[in-house]
């Protein structure tokens, strides 16, 4: 230390710590001259001693003026060393870096000034301290003192110049520090970071693109900054990188895809748009690298399809189509993972997203059917529940998917069973969507197959009230839907066509749950004699409000084009006497003041008068439409129902009508018993006086009489 004081006069050391800047500056100039002489003499030991003195006695001093003098002294010593300064940087730079965090803003300012002068001298030699300098500048960029910020900016520009021209800069060592700092929210720091990223990316020898995954998330995070300038800078940097990606033969798409997927779900609109734009380019460029990320990418795209911002929706749809076009059988990707994403989005709140999720399931079924069916248990319940979706378009698409799955018989039956179950637990679904679902299934699958399966299930349905409602709904669809015209034509030939007969018998079993459905089926199948027998088998309990409502619907349906053939048959009342008798039977069941009564009576009044011979009158002995027969002169030859069968025949084309009628009566007996049990249950808590007057009592005798097998004295033979 004594040698140092002999080298540097006491007055210089005293002025170096003076409160006046000019005195410190002059003292520094003297230090510069002294160091220059020592360097010329090659006395580096004394130079080291001088630097050590400046660092320990001045820059680490508790006195602010001492610290200021020490900083300006170190800079002066570096200037004095000129080209030989590099070998003393290990002593010079650390004290300056420590001063960047000094509590005194003036000290921090002089630290910036000192390092600026040091850097100008040593240039690329101080790259070994780059990370520490970068870290210090990162903090100073957000300094509370404007003068310090200004000084830091000047130093920052110089450091950037040095780095861009240096061949010693290590990007590998710098990236971890950059990645860590990218999470800082301070706007000044963010500007500082984006500036460095842009500068380093402009250097041809520095491969910033290769390290983009390390700081990409930070750049995307800046897109939602409150400062427009920062958002613009981040967007500009990202645009430049995206352009480089398009032109680069080697890009790590995978790591970046994970980041983009997360950012596509950002609350910030601009961030979502940028992320989905990047994903769009990645899908086009990524190739095999992106195959493992298809599911994650799809999970990001589908919600964006329903985004409130149109630009995002457009890009998302384009990306979705591009991705779906790549899902060909040759690609080896995780079908199960894609299905999981589609299932999750199918349960989402946005209709457009649910629709696209269904398109994906449909696409996978066509291209990867085996893999989809192996994962069917994971998505089948969700697909079934989607049948209750509030959107008609979603329901129609779900049905298409189900139809594709139902090509396999076990899945077909499972679908129909669940449909019936859904209708059972949710009556509103049957009421609002039943027709849509059944009609669409009949188009996508074979209508006869659908109706046969439904009939088989409903035949053994334990909930009799639901079975009746369901059969009525199916019957109405059968009678009115254009999609079921072929099924109606097949049923019209039930008496002459074995296929029609089989269908008639199949439907009959479940149609027995509803008297009006059976009557409608018989009218459609032109089994008019049996229709008349069914009408005559009805008892008082059967003719209730619900029955009359259904009858009203049937009467109105008889006036539609679907039953035009039946109305034309009324032009030959002698040939179709059982049709006439059935219609008159229905007329007798209607209240005279009802609109349906007036409609049917008006139609029957239009029936022309033709003759009946005496034999024909005798063969329709019970329940004859006497009013019409009264106006029919004798002499005409007729055949029953126009099909040439004898009136007394109990079966035709293999249909045992007597057994069918018994089947109907037994089912109606079950319904009557069920109704009575329900009534008794409702009345169980009533008073004893009310129990004596329960409405079922007067009905017992006729009910017991009517529920047994048909009596020969009440009906024509064989009916």
Domain-ending residue, one of 667, 686, 708: 667
Domain-embedded: residue 410: no
Domain-ending residue, one of 645, 667, 689: 667
Domain-embedded: residue 542: yes
Q: Is the pLDDT of residue 385 over 80?
A: yes
Q: Is the pLDDT of residue 361 over 70?
A: yes
Which pLDDT score is estimated for 272? 95
- Give the CATH number for residue 71: 1.25.10.10
Average pLDDT for the chain: 85
Which pLDDT score is estimated for 3? 65
Residues 38, 46: contact at Cβ < 8 Å?
yes
Lowest mean pLDDT among 429-438, 586-595, 646-655: 646-655
Residues 207, 199: contact at Cβ < 8 Å?
no
Per-residue tokens: 682? 């409702």
Cα(436)–Cα(393) distance, integer angstroms? 11
Domain-embedded: residue 438: no
DSSP state of 338: H
Give the number of domains in the chain.
Answer: 2
Q: Is the pLDDT of residue 342 over 70?
A: yes
Which pLDDT score is estimated for 611? 44
pLDDT digits (tens, 9 = 90+) for 386-415: 888 889 999 999 999 999 988 888 888 888
Q: Is the pLDDT of residue 673 over 60?
A: yes
Contacts 24+ apart (CB under 8 A), 700-708: 702/539, 702/540, 703/539, 703/540, 703/541, 703/672, 705/539, 706/537, 706/538, 706/539, 706/665, 707/539, 707/665, 707/668, 707/669, 707/672, 708/665
Cα(587)–Cα(598) distance, integer angstroms? 9
Domain-embedded: residue 93: yes
Q: Is the pLDDT of residue 229 over 80?
A: yes
pLDDT digits (tens, 9 = 90+) for 164-209: 998 889 999 999 999 999 989 999 999 999 999 999 999 988 999 9
| pLDDT confidence band for 610 (50 / 70 / 90) | low
User: Looking at residues 599-620, what average pLDDT do you find?
Assistant: 70
Domain-ending residue, one of 146, 162, 178: 162
Q: Is the pLDDT of residue 27 over 70?
A: yes
User: Looking at residues 222-231, what average pLDDT do you find?
Assistant: 93
| pLDDT confidence band for 465 (50 / 70 / 90) | very high
Per-residue tokens: 147? 């003068």
Lowest mean pLDDT among 69-73, 433-437, 681-685: 681-685
Cα(488)–Cα(477) distance, integer angstroms? 11
Angle at 213 between CA 209 and CA 218, to 5 degrees: 110
Which of residues 619 and 38 earns the better pLDDT score? 38
Q: How far apart are the first and last CA of the chain?
A: 133
User: Looking at residues 129-147, what average pLDDT do you find?
Assistant: 93
% of the chain beyond a pLDDT of 90 = 62
Q: What is the pTM of this model?
A: 0.75
| pLDDT confidence band for 685 (50 / 70 / 90) | low
User: Looking at residues 483-497, what average pLDDT do you find?
Assistant: 92
Which pLDDT score is estimated for 196? 95
| pLDDT confidence band for 649 (50 / 70 / 90) | very low
Cα(82)–Cα(90) distance, integer angstroms? 15
Residues 467, 506: contact at Cβ < 8 Å?
no
Residue 49 structural domain: 1-162
Collapsing DSSP states into helix, strand and coil, what is residue 645? strand
Q: Is the pLDDT of residue 210 over 50?
A: yes
Domain-embedded: residue 622: no
Which pLDDT score is estimated for 198? 95
Domain-embedded: residue 216: no
Lowest mean pLDDT among 46-60, 404-418, 567-581, 619-633: 619-633
- List all residues 6 or more positions away from 219 whose beta carbon is below 8 Å from its beta carbon: 182, 194, 197, 234, 237, 238
Q: Is the pLDDT of residue 438 over 90?
A: yes
| pLDDT confidence band for 257 (50 / 70 / 90) | very high
Domain-embedded: residue 292: no
Lowest mean pLDDT among 121-125, 306-310, 339-343, 628-632: 628-632
Q: Is the pLDDT of residue 571 over 70?
A: yes
| pLDDT confidence band for 63 (50 / 70 / 90) | very high
- List all residues 6 or more positions away from 632 whose beta carbon is below 8 Å from its beta carbon: 573, 574, 609, 610, 611, 612
Lowest mean pLDDT among 310-319, 320-329, 392-401: 320-329
| pLDDT confidence band for 652 (50 / 70 / 90) | low
Classify burial at 717, counting beta carbons within 10 Å of its beta carbon; exposed 0-12, middle 13-18, buried 19 or more: exposed
Can you list the alpha helix ranges (DSSP code H) found in 369-463? 369-374, 376-385, 392-405, 409-425, 427-444, 447-459
Which pLDDT score is estimated for 325? 85
Give helix 89-99 / helix 130-140 axis angle, nearest 10°.
20
- C-alpha pair distances (Å), 122 with each of 48, 74, 125: 17, 13, 5
Which pLDDT score is estimated for 686? 56
Q: Is the pLDDT of residue 590 over 70?
A: yes
Q: Is the pLDDT of residue 704 over 70?
A: no
User: Looking at residues 273-301, what average pLDDT do you find?
Assistant: 90
Which pLDDT score is estimated for 682? 78
Q: Is the pLDDT of residue 381 over 90?
A: no
Cα(195)–Cα(240) distance, integer angstroms? 13
Domain-embedded: residue 16: yes
Per-residue tokens: 586? 């229905």
């Amino acid at each position: 230390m004594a040698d140092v004081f002999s080298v540097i006069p006491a007055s210089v050391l005293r002025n170096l710590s003076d409160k006046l800047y000019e005195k410190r500056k002059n003292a520094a100039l003297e230090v510069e001259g002294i160091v220059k002489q020592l360097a010329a003499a090659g006395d580096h030991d004394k130079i080291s001693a001088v630097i050590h003195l400046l660092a320990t006695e001045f820059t680490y001093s508790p006195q602010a003026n001492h610290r200021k003098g020490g900083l300006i002294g170190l800079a002066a010593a570096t200037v004095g060393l000129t080209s030989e300064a590099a070998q003393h940087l290990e002593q010079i730079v650390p004290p300056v870096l420590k001063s960047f965090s000094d509590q005194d803003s003036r000290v921090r300012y002089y630290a910036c000034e000192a390092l600026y002068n040091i850097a100008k001298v040593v240039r690329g030699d101080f790259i070994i301290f780059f990370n520490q300098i970068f870290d210090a500048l990162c903090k100073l960029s957000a300094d509370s003192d404007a003068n310090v910020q200004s000084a830091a900016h000047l130093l920052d520009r110089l450091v950037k110049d040095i780095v861009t021209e240096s061949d010693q800069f290590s990007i590998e060592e710098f990236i971890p520090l950059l990645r860590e700092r990218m999470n800082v929210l301070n706007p000044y720091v963010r500007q500082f970071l984006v500036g460095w990223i842009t500068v380093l990316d402009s250097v041809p020898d520095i491969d910033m693109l290769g390290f983009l995954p390390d700081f990409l998330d930070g750049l995307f995070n800046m897109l939602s900054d409150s400062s427009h300038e920062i958002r613009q800078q981040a967007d500009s940097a990202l645009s430049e990188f995206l352009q480089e990606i398009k032109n680069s033969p080697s890009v790590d798409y995978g790591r970046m895809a994970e980041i983009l997927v997360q950012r596509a779900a950002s609350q910030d609109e601009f961030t979502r748009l940028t992320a989905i734009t990047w994903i769009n380019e990645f899908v086009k460029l990524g190739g095999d690298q992106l195959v493992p990320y298809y599911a994650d990418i799809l999970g990001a795209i589908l919600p964006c399809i329903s985004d409130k911002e149109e630009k995002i929706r457009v890009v998302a749809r384009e990306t979705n189509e591009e991705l779906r076009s790549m899902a060909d059988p040759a690609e080896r990707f995780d079908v199960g993972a894609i299905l999981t994403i589609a299932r999750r989005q199918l349960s989402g709140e946005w209709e457009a997203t649910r629709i696209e999720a269904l398109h994906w399931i449909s696409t996978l079924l066509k291209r990867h059917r085996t893999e989809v069916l192996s994962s069917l248990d994971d998505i089948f319940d969700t697909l079934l529940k989607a049948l209750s979706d509030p959107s008609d378009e979603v329901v129609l698409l779900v049905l298409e998917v189900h139809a594709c799955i139902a090509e396999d018989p076990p899945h077909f039956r499972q679908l129909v069973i669940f449909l019936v179950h859904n209708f059972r637990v949710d009556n509103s679904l049957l009421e609002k969507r039943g027709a849509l679902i059944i009609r669409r299934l009949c188009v996508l699958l074979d209508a006869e197959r659908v109706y046969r399966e439904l009939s088989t299930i409903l035949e053994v349905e334990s909930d009799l009230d639901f079975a009746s409602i369901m059969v009525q709904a199916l019957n109405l669809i059968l009678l009115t839907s254009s999609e079921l015209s072929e099924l109606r034509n097949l049923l019209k030939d039930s008496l002459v066509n074995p296929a029609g007969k089989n269908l008639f018998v199949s439907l009959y079993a479940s149609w027995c749950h509803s008297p009006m459905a059976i009557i409608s089926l018989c009218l459609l199948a032109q089994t008019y004699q049996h229709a008349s027998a069914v009408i005559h088998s009805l008892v008082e309990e059967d003719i209730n409000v619900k029955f009359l409502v259904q009858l009203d619907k049937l009467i109105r349906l008889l006036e539609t084009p679907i039953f035009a053939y039946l109305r034309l048959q009324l032009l030959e009342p002698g040939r179709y006497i059982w049709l006439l008798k059935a219609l008159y039977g229905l007329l007798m069941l209607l209240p005279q003041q009802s609109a349906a009564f007036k409609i049917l009576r008006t139609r029957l009044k239009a029936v022309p008068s033709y003759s009946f011979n005496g034999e024909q009158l005798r063969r329709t002995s019970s329940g004859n439409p006497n009013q019409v027969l009264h106006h029919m002169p004798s002499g005409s030859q007729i055949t029953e129902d126009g099909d040439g069968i004898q009136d007394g025949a109990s079966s035709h084309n293999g249909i045992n009508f007597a057994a069918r009628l018994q089947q109907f009566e037994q089912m109606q007996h079950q319904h009557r018993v069920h109704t009575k049990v329900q009534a008794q249950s409702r009345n169980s808590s009533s008073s004893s006086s009310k129990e004596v007057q329960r409405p079922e009592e007067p009905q017992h005798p006729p009910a017991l009489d009517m529920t047994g097998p048909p009596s020969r004295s009440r009906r024509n033979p064989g009916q």
